[in-house]
Structure 1
């Protein structure tokens, strides 16, 4: 059986993939805005390192969620 190509996907599957991609994009934007506004001393690790990981790693939202859970220090 040959692997499915993008054009072979059904309309429901295409909509789900678009929604997941849009959700990840929104989550990355929110995480980057929070990171920019947060003082350096309230971030665990390097702000540049977090920004690079959030922006470049395609993770289905795992890196931005990791930032919110582990990258920020409690107030």
Structure 2
């Protein structure tokens, strides 16, 4: 099966790709901002590893969702 170029895709296919990229970018921004605002003890696993993964791994939105669901701990109370 030959790869199609952008111009060969239907408008619906182009729109779907753009929408998926926008959702992925939004999830990455949300997860990255959340990660940056947390202390190390509020994250399951090393912060640097989550940050690297969120920045470099192309996961079509899966990795940011995994971080938001299982990568965060409840805020540690300071009293």
SS at match of 2:73: coil
Match of 2:58 in 1: 58
Rounded to whole Å, the distance in 2 between the matches of 1:66 and 1:23 is: 15
Which stretches in structure 1 are left out of the alignment for 5+ residues? none
How many residues in Structure 1 have an aligned counterpart in Structure 2? 75
Task: Kindly report the root-mean-square deviation, in angstroms, between the aligned alpha carbons of the 2 structures.
Answer: 1.3
SS at match of 1:44: coil
Match of 1:41 in 2: 41
SS at match of 1:36: helix
Which stretches in structure 2 are left out of the alignment for 5+ residues? none
Give the structure-2-normalised TM-score.
Answer: 0.86
Give the structure-1-normalised TM-score.
Answer: 0.90
